[in-house]
Chain A
Amino acid sequence: MAQGGYVGKILYVNLTDGTTEIIPTADYEQWGGGHGIGSALFFDRVKDKTVDGFHPDNLITFMTGPMSGTLAPSASGRTEITGIGVTQYPVGWFTRSNFGGRFAGMLKFAGFDGISIQGKAEKPVWINIVNDSVTIEDAAGLWGLNTHETQEEIWDIVTGQPDVREWWGIGGSRDGGRTTQKPAVVTIGPAGENLARNACVLHDSGNGGGQCGFGAVMGSKNLKAISAIGTGSVPVADPAALMELRTEIKERFGFNPDAPSLETPVPGVQLYGILNAQPGYGTLLWPPMAEGAQPQGCMGCFKNCRMNHANGYANGDICVEGLYWMASSDQNENMAATTLLDQMGLNVYDVMAHSYMLELYKQGILGPGKEIDTDLPFDKYDTYEFIESYTKAIAYREGIGDDLAEGITRAAVKWGRYEQDTATGLLNRPQWGFMEHYDPRLEVEWSYGSLFGDRDINEHGVNWHVHWMPLVTAAVGQDPLVSAEELVNLIAESTGVGDPDGWDYSVDGIYSDAKLKAVSWHRHYSRFFIQSALFCDWAWPMLVNYNAGDDHTGATPDYEIRLLNAVTGKDFTYEQAMEIGRRIWNIDRAIWVLQGRHRDMEVFQGYVYDVPTAAPYFLPIKNAEGEWVFDINVGRTLDRERFEDVKSRFYELEGWDPATGWPTRDALAALDLAFVADELEADGKLGS
């Protein structure tokens, strides 16, 4: 079969001396794409892996996947970023972020599978990619602009018209190709320029790569933006098969807006989209404005979870971006706050800690002349004036914003609040300084995965079903769409793990060997399929389907592989792909170990062990009678001792030394990672 997917070149840019180099993608295809290639490039090209994220030697890679820019549903639009992060506490681990939109596709149309960047420019620059032409441009005129202004300015510079809707020819001759499209730009805002550790990168209106502070890493390199526009094609090995798969997935798993098979019983409950994929559901809580809205999707999506709004605010923003600040009774102001956040280039999940600060303000600890001195108008918390001054203070490092731009965790450390407030959970940061995303005492493939990894995993494939499905149906007055027993059996089958006990969240279930296998599956699946092949986390894996009547069989594991093979012409099996995932997870683990990771560091903050859960939290459990039920799991903590035992058993499962958490030579060699073992051994950090 013909080969397809990759376009063949990875661009390497050294900003220190302004040189570029082409790395053949073929040299790295074994890693699948995205994250895997980013990790391998980092391992090969960064000699001292302990460098700080702000060090010029830190190598950040923006990678596409083999299906980027193709019709593969919800597997075409995302770009993976890898490099050493600057948000995590206490160590900025080698890590990742990821954003949607059309950057990945456009980069491939320009002829590149990815861009790897090292060094630091003397003065602000941006990278301008127009098909084969790569130039490093002076960014003096862009520095200081917000993320939206920067993009409009670059569209104008590249195409000579800020709002292209006419054919635009590249290179003067008709053979250079023509496009009606705007350059796809990923940029930083003032926050990134000012090295705010919570700075994101931003593309188009609301596509942010937020966690881990890559906006600040770009800023430290004096890199304002990367722009790509291209007219080339992405080869597809079996186009007819891809078309067939696409229409099949639409019919079987998609939401038919003209005649839905499953429709929310309460109009306006956006959360229901978690179950039926109704378009535009991604804002979770905001229904479309009365003045009008339409769904909006990343390139090639079959769900289109975002929206464009009649007030022009918050276009393309989803999830926590929409929850940034909801204190105003005027929804326009709440949406404007989200847009301001995007324009400043800040990661919402860190800076939404204004609610933590409000608590400190109410307790009399924070405020004008208080222990934590600030003149931010917390007395006007529900006004736009507050959120505007708060957001800009961080982006421009003004006043207390200078503390907050270090990330809320480092700010709390500086204020002497960190130990105390993470012990009580007032500051709910369970691991590595990251915001609690889902309850770490209960939904443990999320918390274990985050702790054994590098950040907040932010992977929802299991979470949609085990947590959200019973919650959303309860919220609209429905019974769960499938029973707890059917659900865990579906997941066990779909993942290939086989044992439904892996999704038992009971007091004992969260420590079981079956659970650890489920956690391990999650790590390997995500590293390959979500972060390297770049299936979108909001669509894949599809472990359960609610849109085909009584047939709840999900698309996983069958369709991912068929899509991948149709596009690439390779002959992947699910098992092989999972092994690549395991390999990537292990090279990452080795980098963390070289950075200083040890078993002793892998502990949660105090509240996870000591403060019982108080609010109902739906998850399936196998009860004392051996029956599967959805429980509300109140009054639960994580047991320190049992968790320490989990660590030993999980390390062994992964082939890591239970005493240290370091990978062993045998385990690495079995993954064809002997060269990684050599480097660990040279550093005295090989597991035994």
Chain B
Amino acid sequence: MADTENGKAPEQAAAGVSRRQFLTGIGGLGVGALLGGVFVNGFLLPEEVVAIPASDGYLLVDTKKCGGCESCMLACSLVHTGRSNINLSRIQVTQNPFNAYPNVVDVVQCRQCPYPSCVDACPTGAMHADAETGVRMVDEAKCIGCERCVNACPFTPSRVQWNYEDGHAQKCDLCANTPYWNEEGGADGKQACVAVCPHNAISFTPRIPVQTDDGYQVNLRNAHWGNLMYPTT
């Protein structure tokens, strides 16, 4: 386990591991072994590795509480682009209506990786961690469309997308850049998906969530959900 509280680099990332390997291994699929509920401002990586500040916020999604209405997707594209398009949403709900609960609905969102492969992959600095909030986001003016970030995301489906209508990469910025919304978004503001979800199945947290490679362990269901006779555990 990494000693994240005092900012020391993980043991297994000792000399001989390149920054790239380190990020691939830990920023992505190895992350589950690494973190748990600890507020982290930054990581000191092995020599000649630049520390990337942790994000000040994360989205938690409780798929068992999700109603599959895709309102989050409609809201995401709306506030960012001014248009309605689930395919341009940075949060993605996929469903197979012929499966049985709890395997009907999947919701995937950017995990604001502590060691973000997308940021590492970007040759121009377009994909970056915001200086103030640490949120991993795209400076669209700097994006050259190489899609390395899209391919670098270790998750399936990739949490970084090619915005084919506007011609740049995009990913969840926790609503920092939402010109079509009257609310203040971002890690210190509101998030459109959280605001519209009918079940409050999406929630914002400033703390790095407990997680495995498959995702976070999230339960946003309280006793009132139980009163509806839905599972709360």
Q: Which residues of A contact B (CB under 8 A)?
A: 69-71, 73, 76-77, 102, 105, 109, 148, 151-152, 163-167, 174-182, 204-206, 231-236, 239-240, 242-244, 246-247, 250, 254-260, 263-264, 267-268, 278-280, 287-288, 292-304, 307-312, 315-316
In the assembly, what is the distance between CA of A77 and CA of B94, in Å?
A: 16
B106 contacts partner chain A, Cβ-Cβ < 8 Å:
yes
In the assembly, what is the distance between CA of A152 and CA of B78, in Å?
A: 30
Q: Using a CB-CB cutoff of 8 Å, which residues 128-183 of chain B contact chain A? A: 147, 156-158, 161-162, 164-165, 180-183
Q: Among the interface residues A70, A102, A280, A300, which one has the most CB atoms of the partner chain B within 10 A?
A: A300
Nearest Cβ in chain B — how far from A469, in angstroms? 20
B67 touches A297 (CB 8 A): yes
Which of B5-13, B15-23, B51-59, B69-77 participates in binding chain A? B69-77
CB closest chain-A residue, reference B225: A257
Nearest Cβ in chain B — how far from A478, in angstroms? 16
B157 touches A165 (CB 8 A): yes
Q: Which 3 A-B pairs have the closest CB atoms?
A: A312-B100, A304-B67, A297-B69
A178 touches B71 (CB 8 A): no
21 sampled A-B residue pairs with Cβ under 8 A: A151-B98, A164-B94, A167-B158, A167-B161, A177-B87, A233-B81, A233-B165, A239-B83, A243-B192, A247-B195, A257-B225, A258-B220, A267-B227, A279-B228, A280-B230, A293-B231, A294-B101, A299-B69, A301-B71, A302-B198, A316-B97
Q: Which residues of B contact A (CB under 8 A)?
A: 64-71, 74-75, 77-79, 81-88, 92, 94-102, 104-106, 147, 156-158, 161-162, 164-165, 180-183, 192, 195-196, 198-200, 220, 222, 224-225, 227-231
B96 touches A163 (CB 8 A): yes
In the assembly, what is the distance between CA of A146 and CA of B79, in Å?
A: 40
A260 touches B86 (CB 8 A): no
Judged by DSSP, the binding face of B is loop
Q: Which residues of B contact A247 (CB under 8 A)?
A: 195-196
Q: Which residues of A contact B75 (CB under 8 A)?
A: 71, 243, 246
Contact for B66 among A102, A151, A263, A294, CB less than 8 A: A294
B97 touches A204 (CB 8 A): yes
A205 touches B98 (CB 8 A): yes
A287 touches B100 (CB 8 A): no
- Supplied contacts A233-B84, A300-B71, 10 more A-B pairs, CB within 8 Å: A69-B84, A71-B74, A232-B85, A235-B84, A239-B79, A243-B182, A263-B224, A292-B64, A293-B101, A308-B100
Nearest Cβ in chain A — how far from B168, in angstroms? 12
A256-B200 contact, Cβ under 8 Å, with A165-B106, A177-B87, A178-B161:
yes
Q: Which residues of B contact A176 (CB under 8 A)?
A: 164
Q: Which residues of A contact B220 (CB under 8 A)?
A: 258
In the assembly, what is the distance between CA of A276 and CA of B231, in Å?
A: 20
B198 touches A250 (CB 8 A): yes
Contact for A166 among B67, B79, B157, B231, CB less than 8 A: B157
Nearest Cβ in chain B — how far from A210, in angstroms? 18
In the assembly, what is the distance between CA of A242 and CA of B65, in Å?
A: 25
A243 touches B78 (CB 8 A): yes
A239 touches B224 (CB 8 A): no
CB closest chain-A residue, reference B106: A165
Contact for A231 among B85, B104, B182, B183, CB less than 8 A: B85
A109-B229 contact, Cβ under 8 Å, with A178-B161, A205-B98, A257-B224:
no
B98 touches A310 (CB 8 A): no
A315-B228 contact, Cβ under 8 Å, with A178-B87, A180-B157, A304-B199:
no
Q: Which residues of A contact B78 (CB under 8 A)?
A: 70-71, 236, 239, 242-243
A301 touches B69 (CB 8 A): yes
CB closest chain-B residue, reference A291: B101
In the assembly, what is the distance between CA of A234 and CA of B86, in Å?
A: 10
CB closest chain-B residue, reference A179: B87
Nearest Cβ in chain B — how far from A653, in angstroms? 39
Contact for A288 among B74, B182, B200, B230, CB less than 8 A: B230
CB closest chain-B residue, reference A165: B94
In the assembly, what is the distance between CA of A647 and CA of B81, in Å?
A: 52
A308 touches B105 (CB 8 A): yes
In the assembly, what is the distance between CA of A316 and CA of B98, in Å?
A: 10
In the assembly, what is the distance between CA of A176 and CA of B195, in Å?
A: 31
A288 touches B88 (CB 8 A): no
A293 touches B87 (CB 8 A): no
Q: Which residues of A contact B158 (CB under 8 A)?
A: 167
A312 touches B69 (CB 8 A): no
A295 touches B199 (CB 8 A): yes
In the assembly, what is the distance between CA of A481 and CA of B14, in Å?
A: 67
B97 touches A315 (CB 8 A): yes
Nearest Cβ in chain A — how far from B75, in angstroms? 6
CB closest chain-A residue, reference B99: A312
A279 touches B199 (CB 8 A): yes
Contact for B74 among A70, A244, A267, CB less than 8 A: A70
A165 touches B156 (CB 8 A): yes
In the assembly, what is the distance between CA of A576 and CA of B62, in Å?
A: 43
B85 touches A301 (CB 8 A): no
In the assembly, what is the distance between CA of A300 and CA of B84, in Å?
A: 11
CB closest chain-B residue, reference A307: B101
Q: Which residues of B contact A310 (CB under 8 A)?
A: 100-102
A311-B67 contact, Cβ under 8 Å, with A109-B85, A267-B229, A301-B198:
no
Contact for B182 among A205, A240, A294, A308, CB less than 8 A: A240
In the assembly, what is the distance between CA of A299 and CA of B182, in Å?
A: 23
CB closest chain-B residue, reference A298: B69
A295 touches B67 (CB 8 A): yes
B81 touches A302 (CB 8 A): no
A178-B164 contact, Cβ under 8 Å, with A165-B94, A233-B85, A315-B98:
yes
CB closest chain-B residue, reference A5: B84
Q: Which residues of B contact A246 (CB under 8 A)?
A: 71, 75, 196
B196 touches A71 (CB 8 A): yes
In the assembly, what is the distance between CA of A29 and CA of B192, in Å?
A: 31
Nearest Cβ in chain A — how far from B202, in angstroms? 12
Q: Which residues of A contact B87 (CB under 8 A)?
A: 109, 177-181, 231
In the assembly, what is the distance between CA of A234 and CA of B84, in Å?
A: 5
In the assembly, what is the distance between CA of A629 and CA of B156, in Å?
A: 59
CB closest chain-A residue, reference B198: A302
Contact for B102 among A206, A250, A263, A292, CB less than 8 A: A292
A233-B88 contact, Cβ under 8 Å, with A102-B70, A258-B200, A267-B228:
yes
A177 touches B164 (CB 8 A): yes
CB closest chain-B residue, reference A174: B162
Contact for A240 among B66, B181, B198, CB less than 8 A: B181
Q: Which residues of B contact A239 (CB under 8 A)?
A: 78-79, 82-83, 180-181
Q: Among the interface residues B78, B84, B183, B230, which one has the most CB atoms of the partner chain A within 10 A?
A: B84
A181-B224 contact, Cβ under 8 Å, with A231-B164, A299-B70:
no
A236 touches B71 (CB 8 A): no
Q: Which residues of A contact B100 (CB under 8 A)?
A: 308-312
Q: Which residues of A contact B68 (CB under 8 A)?
A: 296-297, 304, 308
B192 touches A278 (CB 8 A): no
A304-B69 contact, Cβ under 8 Å, with A239-B180, A263-B227:
yes
